[in-house]
Structure formats: C-alpha cells, structure tokens
Structure 1
C-alpha cells in the first residue's frame, strides 16, 4: 500500500503546483495588490514539498523493505544487497533519481516561500510562479513517462540488483550533492525570468539571488569533486577526469555559475551588468537541463547514463526547449528594460569581472562544442567520431591559465576605477612569488619543465594575490596587530569567501598540474612473487586469493611496495556481482603525503599472470583538498548576507484575509 500512497501524493503535488502557478501569475498580473494570491502561493510551495517528501519516503520504504512487487525496486535492488545500498538505490536509477530531483526542487521552492516575505511581492509571485511551472513539468515527466511506483505481477522472489558501480559510498552521496547544484540554479533562473517579466533587476534583486547562486555553485562543486574522487579510486584507470560527456554536462553549469556569482556581485555593488547576470542565470540552469537530457535521453553511452528510452528523451527535450526557448524569448523582448545605472572604468574590478565572464563563457563554449559536436555529426551524417582529451587539453587549459592569471589581478583592482601604479605595487609580491616558483620548478623538474613552471607560477600568483588582498584590507604590518585582528574580524564574509575560494582553485590547479605533467606509469604482467618498478618503488605481487563479500565474489591481490628501506602493504580487488553479471575494480592506493602509489590489476585470462598497472600520481591530494577549500569559500560567502537595504528588511506579515489564517 505504501507505493500507492507515494504515487497519490505525487499526483496531489502535481495538482497543487498547477493551482499554485495559476494563482501566482494571476496575483502578479492583477491590478489590485491582493495578498491572498501571495499567501496561497507561499503555502502551496510548502504543501507541494510535503507531498513530494511523502512520495520520496514511500519509494525509499519500498527499497528498504525489498518490495519486489514494485518494478523499480525489482530492477534496482536485491535481498542480499547491504541495507545502506538498498536505501541509496532509491536514487540509483532513472525513476528514483528524478523523484529526488523534484524533491530538491520543491525543497528550494518551499524555503524561498518561507523566507520570501522580505522580497517585493510582485517579484516573489513571479519567481515562485516560474518555479511552480518547472515543478509541474518535471512531475508530469515522472507521472507520464517514469512512474517509480509501477507494480509488477506476479511478484518476483528477488530483484535484479543495483548496478555494482553505484554500490559505493562515494557514488551513493554524489548524486544528491550534484542535484542540489543542478536544481539550485533553478532559483536564480526563476528570479531572472521574473526580473525580465517585471522589467526590473536592481541591487535588491541581486541580494536576493546571490545566496541562491552561491549555494547552488557550492553544492555543484562538492558533487563534481565526489564524482571525480569516485572515478579515481573505483574505475581503476588511474585518472580523475576523462572529459566524459556526462562529466562535461556537470562542468558546464559550474562554469556558467562561476560567471554568474561574479556578475551578481557587480549588480549588487554598482547596479551594472544586469543583463549579463540575468542571461547567466538563464544559462546556468539551462545547462543543468542539458545535462539531464544527456543522461536520460539515450544519446550517449556512459557509466553515468541512467536511461536510454527515446520517449523519455523527447519529453525532456520538450521541457528543455520550453525552458530555454521561452526564457531566451523573454530575454530578447525585455532585456532593454534592464538598463544599468552604475558606471565604471575599463581598468577596475568590474572591468576584470567582465573579462572573467567572457573567459568563463568561452571555456563553457569550448566544452559544449567538444561534447556535442560528435552528436551533431552523428545525427546529420551518421558518421561516428569522438572528441577526446587532446582537444580539451589543448583548448581549455589555455583559457583556464588566462583566467587564473586574471583572477590574481582582479582581486587587487579597486571598484569603479583602479589606480594602475598602485595596483602594480600591490601585485609585486605575487609576481616575485610566481617567478621564484617557476625557477624552482625549472631547476628540479625532470620533465615538462616549461609547462610545469608556467603552471606552478600561476598557482603561486593566485595564492599570493588572494592573500595580499586580505593583508591590504586588514592593514597587516601597516597597523598595530591588535587593529589588524579587529579589522580581520570585521571583514565581510564575502571577502573571506572569495579569498578562500581563489586559494582553493589554486590548490586544485596545483594538483591538476602535478598529476597531468609528472605522473609515472608502468604496465606489467605479474605472477605471484613477481616485482615491477615505478617512480623508485619496487612493487611485488605477494598473493591473489578469492574472497566473498555480502553480494559479490572477489579476487584480492596483496602487494608489497618498497622504497628507501620503507615497506608497506596494499590491497586491491576485482569484484564480480553474480546477480548483475558485472565486474568492478577496487584500486590499491597508498597515500604518501600529497602523492599516491596507485595499483590496479586485471583478469588472469592467459594463465601466466595478472595484468597490473602501476601509477605514481604526484600532488593528487591537492585535487581533493583544493575542491574542498573552494567549496568552503562558497559556504563562507553564502553565510554573509551583508547589510540589507530598506526594501529587503523584513516586512510585517500580510494581514489576515477572510478564509485564510494569518
């Protein structure tokens, strides 16, 4: 009976969302400022979230109880599967993941409705109205093409089991964070469309949008990091990023979101770049929808893909066309109404952010072209081509390097108009640090000296530049330490967040440079007792034994590694899941400071030994640390709401209306 409750709750949520959309748009277009429409719209958002939560918990209960009378549970669970993966299997499939998507969508709408009384009523009505239309579209998609509660008769005794690649802690928590980012951009999107409809985007609008853009960007950063970390240790290929189409699908809205949070800052400070900010808000969520289409339409084959049903792809394509086409049409018609009132000189922080936006969008365009060009060629001519890492590494890395260089400059430029000579003096420590770092690399590196020197110089440039801005703002070494500490304590969270995020990006870049340029690899066919060498390590395959897990059989290899009289043991596995008939690998990884000794082994098909790949991955830990620090910067900036202008200070609640409690 629980699945029927979940299904009915979802149908009710669909009906309430339709009523909510009608009410909010009628309220926004009404000549009379009638509070009843706003009150109903706000409360409907909370009701829709509650109904969607009931629906999601009903599906999770079916997975937890292994109710194989539900097709979704039968196809994605098994009685022998560990309980935690029974629960995470709720979103480890197409239908359940879409229900999680809608749950997060309604959660954000509910939070906006609960906190929205500080916003102008017309703006709130239009924003919640657009959100409700998005909710209607995705609930309709679930109900008509992807019902997660569909029954199966007769009831099977057991299920098919969850994809083994998803039976992992990293990938279990990766989708929720990724969806918090994807779906989070729906709020800036709705605010952008609302601003276009009312012909007004001002500093009040920017201060309302900024926390939503920041939290979406931060969650997306965490989601991408978790996916990369999972691919690193689970897939056994020794890498952390493959420019897979679905990896690109998450990276593109991150790039657009990065440009968005910088543009909103300019709107907030200078009441300028309003058209840019609105367009970027539309672009970030549109690219999130593009990612959803890629994963669920069947147009690509990937370890990340959920579904290959063309009917579902057509439905999502219709949503995508309506959202992107409709919003861009409104933008084309109404963008002229968003005239800026603030002005700034080309050499200023605003000017640097304009260039930043251009670079971010250019980088996003290069990823988009590399991802979709093969699909376009396939559709037009039937020819199968691939665009791989060489293209992205050649084009994207150049743009990324220029962006990092500009970021180190932009943080030290003054708002409105910068003093060039003063800025050059402030940049001197960063320039000296970059030159020293480059010289050190050029001397000690055994290969890739020039490229490595440039990469490490950019890392030093960005870190020192970000630190210099903080030192200048707190007057470190130019005022008594007590005064500097007081200034640091009073420094806005947005300033701290920006500095932390920039340092995090630099640390991440350090990891990317290290593993990309100086990774060492050895491939060997090894029997028990054989040894191979990589980066000065002598690695011996001591034994291979068969073991049994909760729902898998495995070959576990024990390796002994020795270097400089230090010896340690590593274990790697090849797992076979009989229910699914699939194999996975668990790489043997030993962290040595910021470096990893990484070993993966294959199947002994020849009877003469196991193919073993040994990697030494320098600086790889900086990838995860850098992404974590970047996300921390996002949270710190999100926590800083700044001083609210009069229009944003909390207003008294609307008076009670007959028939509705206050």
Structure 2
C-alpha cells in the first residue's frame, strides 16, 4: 500500500508542476498579480508531495518490501540499514526520483527567496523550473517508476545492492553531485526568464550569481567525492580515469565555472550579457546530457546504469526540446541584450573573456572525446577507444594556459590597463615561479620532469599573483589605518575568490606530483615476505577469514616499516558478497599529508598462502581533494557577501490586473 501511496503522491506532484508551468507564466504576461503569486504555494506543494513520495520509497526499502520490483533488484534482507536507505538511489529509477526531489528542493529554496525578486521574474523563474520538472516526472511515471509491483509471486529476498555501492561514498557522492547538476537549473531558469522578459541588467546578474555559485560548490564537492570514492574503492589507485561518466560531470563544471566568471563581469561592468545567457543554457543542458549518457544504455561504465536503451530515446527527446527551445528563444531575444560598454585589450575584462574561452574550449574537447566513439559506433563506422592519452594531450595544456591567464587577470584593473604596468607587476613573480618550478623538480624525486616544472611553476605563479593583488588592494588602507583595518575593508566575495584560486593551486600541486612521482608494484607475496619500495618496507603477514553482515572476506594483513620503525598495519580484503556471489577488492591505505600508502589484494596464487598484492605510494594525492574543498569553501564565502542580500521595491498597478514591478528598483 505504501508503494501505491508514493505513486499517487508523485502523480499529484505532476499535476502541481503542470499548473506551475502555466498559471504564473500566464500571469506574468498579462500583469495578473494573483496568478503570479500562485507560483510559491504551487512550488511548496510540489516539494511536499515529491518528498513524501521519496519517503515512501525509503520505507519500502527499510521494511524489505520485495514485492516492489525496484526494492527486489537493489536490496536484500541482510543489507545493513544505512545501505538499505541509500539503495533508494542505487539504481536508475530511485536515482531519477532523487534527481526530481533535489530539483523540488532547489525550487522551494528559490520560492523562499523569491519575495525579494520582482513578481514577474520570480513567477517566470519558478514556471520555467516547473516545466523542467514536468518532463522529468513524465519520464519517471511513464518509463521509470520505482513503485512497480511484482505480483502475484514476489521473491522471498532481494538481489542485493551492487557491492561497489555498499560504501560511505555512495551515501554522500550521488546526492552532492545531483545538487550541483540540478542547481544549474536555477541559473537556466533565470536565463530563460530574462530572455522571456527581454531585460538583462546588473541586478539580474546579482540575483542569478549566488544560485550559480551554490550549484558550482555542490558540483565541485560532488566531483571531488566521486574521485575520492573511486580512488579507495575500485582498487586501481587512480584518482581520475577519464571515464565517460566522469566526463559527464566535468563538462557542466567547466561551463559552470565560465558562467560564474561571466556573471561577475555582467554584474560589475554590464558586459558579456549574451554570452552569460548562453553559458547558463549550456551548463544545464550539459547536466541533462550527463543524465542521458548515464541512463540511455549507450555507455559501458562502472558508473552507468544498465537500462533499456528505449528510455534513452525519451531523455534524448526531452534534451532536444529543452536545448532546442532555449536556443530558439536565445536567437530571438539575444540582440536585445547586447553589451555597449567598451574596454581595452589589456584589462580584467579581456582576461576573463580569455578565461571563458579556454574553459569552453576545454569542455568542447572533453565532449568530443566522450561522444566521438559513440557517434562512430552509431553510424556503423567501427569502434574506437578514446582514453587518457587524448585527454591528457589536449586538456592539460589548456588547463595550464588557464592557470597562467588566471594570475594575470587577477592583477589587471577593470576597463583599462597597459602591458608595461602588467610587466612591472609580474616580472619578479614570473622569474620566481620559473626558479621555483625548476628547483622543485631538481630537489624532489630522482629525475627532472618538465611537466612538474610547469605544474609547480604555475602554483608559484597563482599564489604569488594572489598575494600581490592583496597587497595592491590594501596598500593605501594599510598606510592610513593599519593591516587589520585594511583587510577588514575587503568584501567576502573577494576573499572567496582568493580562497578558490588558492584551492586550485593546491589541487595542481597534488595532480603534478602524484602524476610524476607515484610508485607501484604488483607482487606475489607469501606470509613473511618483505619488499622495499621508495624507502618503505612492506611485510605480508597472510590472510584470515572474516564473516561480514552480508559477505565473507579474506582479511589480509600487511605491516609497514620506515627506517626499521613500524608506522602502519594495513588490512586489504577480498570480499565475496552472499546474494550475488560477487568478489570485490577492498583496498586499505595509510593516509598522510605528503603521501598515501595504498595496498590491495589480487587473487590467491598457491597452496603456500601466496597472494597477488598491489602496492602504491601516492605522494601528495590528498592535496587534490584538499584543493577541491578549498575551492568550495571559497564559493561559500563568496555567497555570504552582503551584496547578495537585497530588497526590492515593487509597485502595484490598478484594479484586478495588478501587477508589475520595477526591475531597476532593486537596491543592493
């Protein structure tokens, strides 16, 4: 009965989203304030019914209702409670419902904050998001309902959750990633609302900017958590594999990063208006493209859902409708939002434009490498594999160019500048960066690597230009009021920018060093065998059987010494999950600030207790994720800026057709 109630709640949510798509939008066209004001209650009702439906799905998992087909395929009576709950998004149907729930949550948040927006704008934004939700709910109800029953003979027990997903990473990674994906729907809705109204100004950019930054923060954390999860769970020891589904999350992040910078220019200088609108459309479109790739059945990936390709046709049509209608509206309205502000070639605007071009071109290269093999296969022109060599060759140089442009752009002033002034500001920074990169590569490790010289040199470049910019901005205030007062006068958005860019530098340190100086050995080890790797001694102490809640395990033990002193005991496992009889490798590691010691068991190799053992030493790998966290914290700090807390004066027109508000009445 709970499943049927959940399905009914989802059907009611569809009805509410249909009303939300039509009534407030119609009211915004004819100036009917009463219709526009229906947007908020309809949005909250939509959120309540979707949340209730999702709660019903969780209940079916917790109570082991194996008469529900989705529960029978993705759960088991022996599954620990925390994984029964997270199994709700462990397959296609449930994860799609989570997608809709998070969309409803973003819509409710916009509705809560929309009292500060002009009525026409808030009505149009929520109506556009309602249209997005209609397509997703139709897809869920018509092709992917998680509430279908197996009757009259349900199974006695379930098939169990994929063992790869029985991990803490499964609890936090998908929701965080979806928060980022779906969050770009808000920026998309603001862009479409602006195009419908034909008005795009600095106030619009200020309204859209914190929502875009919030989505970017969630997506940054989601990608970082996915990288961390794959690193320790899959047993390969890598942090990024250029998997097509990984690329599907990277592409909207790249465009979203460009969108954030473009919004900053639009807000401060009134520039890049059409470009900003287009980036908002592309960021959300790429999020939907990721959904298509994961759920269409066209990809074979450890991350993808194996489903009927016919479902992919529905998503593809939905994607074409969203992108096609958005670009058509953009083509009709874009000439009305042209920028008329001028700037010189050497200015902050120019470097931010270069930033956007590089980010967009980087996204295009990833998109090409991801889709080109699929296109050839669909045209019966053969099968090819596009892997790390392609992506490293085309993406890494553009990332380095982006980091260099970042440092120069931070120092430049708005509107005008000169090459001579920029040279004076950066000549010693550039020299120090080159020397720092060379010195690091010569001192650290046993070999000289040009890639490490460039990577670490760019780290020096970013950090030193950030410091120089801070000194420039506080020079006069420091002379008059002292350092503390000067630092207090800078806005949180500025400190957020600084922290995010420092986070990028920290991540580059991790990427450069772990790519160039990692050590790996694949060994046959019997109990008592010892091996020396990069100054560490690893002694294999054998394995013993262990019984888990829903698996049996060969529980290994490896003692690690450094200079004769024991520093860690690692316990890699080889698990076999009862329901699916699926073997799984569970790596173990000893983390550190400057290195990770990482071991994984392969297969038993003989009657003497020998096992295949893989040992990695990963220097500075955790700096990659630390840098991502710093970038996200920078985004959060930027959102906290008071400039994004504004009041709106609205005026009411006459008689029954009350309604319009003044877009230019927004005061920060």
For this structure pair, what is the TM-score category when the shorter chain's length is used for normalisation?
A: over 0.9
List per-residue Cα deviations over 1:598-631 (Å, max 9, x = no partner).
1112011555621111111111111111111011
Counterpart contact for 1:9–1:51, Cα < 8 Å: yes
Secondary structure of the corresponding residue to residue 17 of structure 1: helix
Instruction: Within 5 Å, give how 1:269-288 maps onto structure 2.
Output: 269-288=268-287
Shift of 1:306: 1.7
Counterpart contact for 2:210–2:644, Cα < 8 Å: no
Secondary structure of the corresponding residue to residue 593 of structure 1: coil
Correspondence for 2:557: 558
CA change 1:326–1:530 in 2 (3 A) is same
Counterpart contact for 1:35–1:654, Cα < 8 Å: no
Runs of 4+ that moved beyond 4 A? 605-608, 650-658
CA RMSD of aligned residues (A): 1.9
Partners of 2:540 and 2:182 lie apart in 1 by: 47
User: Would you say 1:289 and 2:292 are equivalent positions?
Assistant: no
Instruction: Within 5 Å, give how 1:493-572 maps onto structure 2.
Output: 493-567=492-566, 568-572=568-572
Correspondence for 2:106: 108
Secondary structure of the corresponding residue to residue 313 of structure 1: helix
Partners of 1:591 and 1:120 lie apart in 2 by: 51
Partners of 1:430 and 1:379 lie apart in 2 by: 51
List per-residue Cα deviations over 1:406-442 (Å, max 9, x = no partner).
1011111111112443333332453243123113124
Secondary structure of the corresponding residue to residue 339 of structure 2: coil
Partners of 1:16 and 1:196 lie apart in 2 by: 24
Counterpart contact for 2:369–2:391, Cα < 8 Å: yes
Correspondence for 2:626: 625
Partners of 1:463 and 1:516 lie apart in 2 by: 21
Correspondence for 2:6: 6
Shift of 1:538: 1.9
Correspondence for 1:591: 591
Partners of 2:575 and 2:410 lie apart in 1 by: 49
- Which of 84, 87, 95 lines up with 1:86 in the alignment? 84
Correspondence for 1:459: 459
Secondary structure of the corresponding residue to residue 539 of structure 1: strand
Partners of 2:629 and 2:327 lie apart in 1 by: 34
Partners of 1:654 and 1:45 lie apart in 2 by: 25
List per-residue Cα deviations over 1:540-583 (Å, max 9, x = no partner).
11111111111111111101122222223211111111202222
Correspondence for 1:616: 617
Secondary structure of the corresponding residue to residue 370 of structure 1: helix
Counterpart contact for 1:447–1:518, Cα < 8 Å: no
Shift of 1:364: 0.4
Correspondence for 1:342: 341
Correspondence for 2:140: 142
Correspondence for 2:383: 384
Partners of 2:383 and 2:72 lie apart in 1 by: 35
Instruction: Give the length in aligned residue pairs.
Output: 653
Partners of 1:458 and 1:352 lie apart in 2 by: 17
Correspondence for 1:331: 330
Counterpart contact for 1:117–1:653, Cα < 8 Å: no
Partners of 2:476 and 2:157 lie apart in 1 by: 67
Partners of 2:61 and 2:655 lie apart in 1 by: 44
Correspondence for 1:221: 220
Shift of 1:289: 0.5
User: Would you say 1:173 and 2:181 are equivalent positions?
Assistant: no
Partners of 1:656 and 1:232 lie apart in 2 by: 64
CA change 1:338–1:616 in 2 (3 A) is same
Shift of 1:166: 0.7
Partners of 2:279 and 2:547 lie apart in 1 by: 51
Secondary structure of the corresponding residue to residue 583 of structure 2: strand
Shift of 1:518: 0.9
Shift of 1:471: 2.7
Partners of 1:629 and 1:522 lie apart in 2 by: 32
Partners of 2:39 and 2:244 lie apart in 1 by: 38
CA change 1:157–1:320 in 2 (3 A) is same
Correspondence for 2:120: 122
Partners of 1:210 and 1:526 lie apart in 2 by: 56
Shift of 1:117: 2.5
TM-score by length of 2: 0.94
Secondary structure of the corresponding residue to residue 59 of structure 2: helix
List per-residue Cα deviations over 1:245-292 (Å, max 9, x = no partner).
000000000000000000000000011100110010011101000100
Correspondence for 2:663: none
CA change 1:606–1:294 in 2 (3 A) is farther
Counterpart contact for 2:7–2:147, Cα < 8 Å: yes
Counterpart contact for 1:72–1:149, Cα < 8 Å: yes
CA change 1:582–1:448 in 2 (3 A) is farther
Partners of 1:653 and 1:376 lie apart in 2 by: 54
Counterpart contact for 1:448–1:517, Cα < 8 Å: no
User: Would you say 1:600 and 2:600 are equivalent positions?
Assistant: yes
Partners of 2:471 and 2:157 lie apart in 1 by: 63
Secondary structure of the corresponding residue to residue 486 of structure 1: helix
CA change 1:584–1:337 in 2 (3 A) is same
User: Would you say 1:44 and 2:45 are equivalent positions?
Assistant: no
Partners of 2:509 and 2:653 lie apart in 1 by: 53
CA change 1:339–1:610 in 2 (3 A) is same
Counterpart contact for 1:181–1:218, Cα < 8 Å: yes
Counterpart contact for 2:10–2:50, Cα < 8 Å: yes
List per-residue Cα deviations over 1:39-79 (Å, max 9, x = no partner).
11221011101111111111111111211121111111111
Partners of 1:555 and 1:342 lie apart in 2 by: 68
Shift of 1:643: 6.4
List per-residue Cα deviations over 1:212-255 (Å, max 9, x = no partner).
11000000000000000000001010100000000000000000
Secondary structure of the corresponding residue to residue 636 of structure 1: helix
Instruction: Within 5 Å, give how 1:82-481 maps onto structure 2.
Output: 82-153=80-151, 154-428=153-427, 430-444=429-443, 445-475=445-475, 478-479=478-479
Secondary structure of the corresponding residue to residue 146 of structure 2: coil
Counterpart contact for 2:410–2:466, Cα < 8 Å: yes
Partners of 2:23 and 2:290 lie apart in 1 by: 31
